[in-house]
Amino acid sequence: MEACFPAAKATRKAWDQIPRRPESIIPLLQSVQEEQGYLSEEGIAQVAAHAHSAASAVYGVATFYSQFRLRRPGLHTLRVCEGTACHVLGSEEVMETLKELLGVEVGETTPDGVFTLESVRCLGCCSLAPAVMVDNETHGRVGRKEIAAILKRYRKDAR
């Protein structure tokens, strides 16, 4: 099979540094997801080839860890913290509000492709509970007002 992944030159170069052994499966998958936003079938095949492993083994690893996703996400990923501190300080309401405003369930992407809604167990930001992570940015003490502001900001950026 002709190598069409990794597509970005920088990633291709980075892969040269990664040992061609099964121990590299997780970092390789992380790099695929970093570049594509998810793990395509093609990406998984490439990882298997590079790590000298069976595609089934790579798939087994990919489905074990919650970080990996097999479906293409939206432009921005909203991760609502459902850790202990956030739970006792109202993360359920945050989640319900987001579901209502976005019209999607956990794991789904809005029809316009802008937001994917996910949950996470603790962002390590418990003193600012309830917390929500948008892509790599953590927002603390979010209530209805903050949620609306966050959605508005990222929607605007998406245009």
Query: 24 forms bridges with which residues in the sheet?
Result: none
- Within 37-83, residue ranges assigned H as helices are 41-50, 55-64
Stretch that binds ligand FES, among 29-37, 83-91, 103-111, 149-157 (CB under 6 A): 83-91
Site for ligand FES in 122-151 (CB under 6 A): 122-126, 129, 131
Cβ proximity to ligand FES: between 22 and 90 the closer is: 90
Contact 29, 39 (CB under 8 A): yes
Give the type of residue at 136: N
Cβ proximity to other proteins: between 45 and 126 the closer is: 126
Look at residue 129 and give its three-state secondary structure.
coil
User: CB burial class (10 A; 0-12, 13-18, 19+) of residue 156?
Assistant: exposed
The closest of 92, 101, 78 to 129, measured between CA atoms, is 92
Q: How many other CB atoms sit within 10 Å of the CB of residue 150?
A: 19
Stretch that binds other proteins, among 4-12, 77-85, 109-117, 149-157 (CB under 8 A): 77-85
Which residues, at least 6 apart from 22, have a Cβ–Cβ distance to it below 8 Å?
A: 51, 52, 53, 57
Q: Nearest approach, Cβ of 34 to other proteins (angstroms)?
A: 11
Q: Among residues 6, 15, 32, 68, which is the contact residue for other proteins, using CB under 8 A?
A: 68
Cβ proximity to ligand FES: between 75 and 85 the closer is: 85
Binding mask 105-124 for ligand FES (x = CB under 6 A): -----------------xxx
Q: Does 151 bind other proteins (CB under 8 A)?
A: no
Which residues here bind other proteins, judged by CB under 8 A? Answer: 21-27, 29-30, 51, 53, 60-61, 64-68, 82-85, 87-89, 93, 96, 100, 120-129, 131, 136, 138-140
